[in-house]
């Protein structure tokens, strides 16, 4: 049985500690302690503190232990984002609807970008929505360590949670923006017509993995060099142009398609359109290249992040 746990009545003992007697815990305290025991047990484990491991690894059991904190961090970011706004989360959908409208007018009407058989508005909306997810995921995850500086320097938890939460948060915006896409699909009658639709989440997962890998990498760099956040927007402004957001990728010459495949977002957008708009299926080889690049980025990002993780509190 453990010692009386509930702060033994507010009796602040002014006497020297060595003279303080331990009262045997009362019945009620024992009952409460037993109740505590249940969900405190994971915390009462033994922790061994060692120098940072030479080889980075991911402690999945520990991550599982901290799952509630992940949830709390995600929840915080979502709640805080739309505090004191009149339209609240609806902004998630509105922003994407407006971007799509601008793209449709500028690239569809004036520039007349190639769009294959799919009506241009559906095509663009289907590109804008996953792209915006990726852009906000990378932006917020790459600054996640610095923007949570007080947490990093004061409390222990697996730091992986910070970029991870930052990549999870924009999923909410993504879901809110889906009705915009559904409306356009209804107007233009572009419904999924094959079983490929079940693969739609897989392509999103690809965007998630890529964003997380880049987030790991850039947040580590940002913790050390504050130059990085200046470079990110430039990179993210070019990205939609080379990912086929405002045009159909299969309309460009094949040899270029292979070059574009190095960018995982091109596979995300092409695959997503194939799944929900019944576009032409992306070429398997090109998708394989994109997936490999994404996994490589993820592995590299995680390794770099974990290598520098023990030093974040000292260098940030």
Partner 1 sequence: MSLAIEAHELSKRYRIGQMQAAYGTLRDSLSRIAARRAGREEKHARQEIWALRDVSFSVPEGEVLGVIGRNGAGKSTLLKILTRITTPTSGCAVIRGRVGSLLEVGTGFNPELTGRENVFLNGSILGMKRREIQRKLGDIVEFSGIDKFIDTPVKRYSSGMHVRLAFSVAAHLEPEILLVDEVLAVGDAEFQQRCLGRMEDFSGTGRTVLFVSHNMQTINQLCNRVIWLDEGAIAEDGEPSKVVTHYLHSTSYASGAHISWPDDETAPGDDLVRLLGVRAIDEGGNTTDAVDARDPTGIEIRYRVLRPGPGVFTKIRVRDRRSDIAFNAMDVASHPEDSSEPGLYTATAWISGNLLNEGTTTVDVAVCTLRSPKLHQRAARYEAVLFTVFDPGDGDSARGRFTGQISGVVRPRLEWSVERVG
Write out the residues near partner 1 by the rule CB under 8 A: 3-8, 10-18, 20, 22, 36, 39-40, 43-44, 46-52, 68-69, 71-72, 75-76, 79-80, 83-84, 148, 150-151, 153-157, 223-227, 310-311, 313-316
CA triplet 130, 291, 60: central angle to 5 degrees? Answer: 90
Please, which residue, 143 or 290, has the CB nearer to partner 1?
143
Q: In the complex with partner 1, which residue's Cβ is closer, 64 or 225?
A: 225
Residues near 214 by beta carbon (within 8 Å), at least 6 away in sequence: 138, 141, 142, 297, 301
Q: How far apart are CA 267 and CA 258, in angstroms?
A: 11
Torsion on CA atoms 209, 213, 214, 216, rounded to nearest 10: 130
Side-chain-side CA neighbours of residue 245 (13 Å): 26
Q: How far is the CB of 176 from partner 1 (least distance, A)?
A: 20
Angle at 239 between CA 237 and CA 149, to 5 degrees: 65
Between residues 109 and 226, which has the closer beta carbon with respect to partner 1?
226
Helix axes 284-308, 264-277, angle to 10 degrees: 130
Min. distance of Cβ 139 from partner 1 in angstroms?
A: 19
CB of 271 to partner 1, least distance (A): 36
To partner 1, the closest distance from the beta carbon of 189 in angstroms equals: 43
Task: State CA 254 to chain mean position distance.
Answer: 32
Task: Report the residue number, 129 or 214, with the smaller CB distance to partner 1.
Answer: 214
Helix-helix angle 120-142:264-277, to 10 degrees: 140
Which residue lies nearer to partner 1 by CB, 3 or 109? 3
Question: Minimum distance between the CB of residue 135 and partner 1, rounded to whole angstroms?
Answer: 23
In sequence order, which residues have a C-beta less than 8 Å from that of residue 262 and are 6 or more positions away? Answer: 289, 290, 293
Considering beta carbons, is residue 13 or 117 the nearer one to partner 1? 13
Identity of the residue, 48 or 234, whose beta carbon is nearer to partner 1 in the bound complex: 48
Q: CB of residue 27 vs partner 1: minimum separation in angstroms?
A: 17
- Is residue 40 helix, strand or coil? helix
What is the nearest approach in angstroms of partner 1 to the Cβ of residue 284? Answer: 40
**Nearest residue (CB) to partner 1, 76 versus 109:** 76
Q: What is the CA radius of gyration of the chain?
A: 25
Determine the distance from the C-alpha atom of residue 55 to the mean position of all C-alpha atoms in its chain, rounded to a whole number. 25
Alpha-carbon span 178 to 67, nearest angstrom? 27
Determine contact, residues 278/192, Cβ cutoff 8 Å. Answer: yes
In whole angstroms, how close is the CB of 208 to partner 1 at the nearest point? 23
């Amino acid at each position: 049985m453990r010692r009386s746990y509930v702060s033994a009545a507010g009796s602040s003992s002014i006497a020297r500690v060595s003279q303080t007697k331990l009262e045997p815990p009362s019945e009620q305290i024992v009952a409460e302690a037993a109740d505590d025991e249940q969900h405190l047990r994971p915390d009462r484990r033994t922790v061994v503190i060692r120098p940072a491991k030479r080889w980075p690894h991911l402690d999945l059991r520990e991550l599982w232990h901290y799952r509630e904190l992940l949830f709390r961090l995600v929840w915080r970011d979502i709640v805080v984002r739309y505090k004191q706004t009149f339209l609240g989360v609806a902004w998630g959908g509105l922003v994407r609807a407006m971007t799509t409208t601008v793209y449709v007018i500028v690239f569809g009407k004036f520039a007349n970008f190639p769009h294959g058989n799919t009506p241009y508005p559906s095509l663009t909306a289907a590109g804008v929505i996953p792209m915006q997810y990726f852009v906000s995921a990378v932006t917020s995850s790459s600054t996640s360590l610095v923007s949570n500086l007080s947490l990093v320097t004061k409390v222990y938890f697996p730091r992986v949670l910070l970029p991870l939460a930052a990549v999870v948060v924009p999923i909410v915006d993504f879901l809110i923006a889906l009705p915009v896409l559904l409306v356009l699909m209804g107007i233009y009658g572009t419904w999924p017509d094959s079983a490929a639709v079940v693969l739609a989440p897989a392509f999103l997962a690809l965007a998630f993995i890529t964003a997380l890998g880049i987030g790991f990498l850039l947040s580590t760099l940002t913790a050390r060099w504050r130059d990085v956040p200046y470079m990110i927007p430039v990179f993210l402004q070019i990205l939609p142009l080379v990912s086929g957001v405002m045009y159909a990728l299969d309309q460009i010459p094949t040899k270029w398609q292979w070059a574009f495949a190095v960018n995982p977002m091109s596979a995300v957008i092409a695959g997503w359109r194939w799944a929900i708009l019944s576009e032409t299926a992306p070429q398997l080889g090109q998708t394989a290249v994109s997936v490999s690049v994404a996994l490589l980025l993820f592995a590299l990002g995680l390794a770099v992040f974990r290598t520098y993780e023990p030093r974040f509190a000292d260098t940030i």
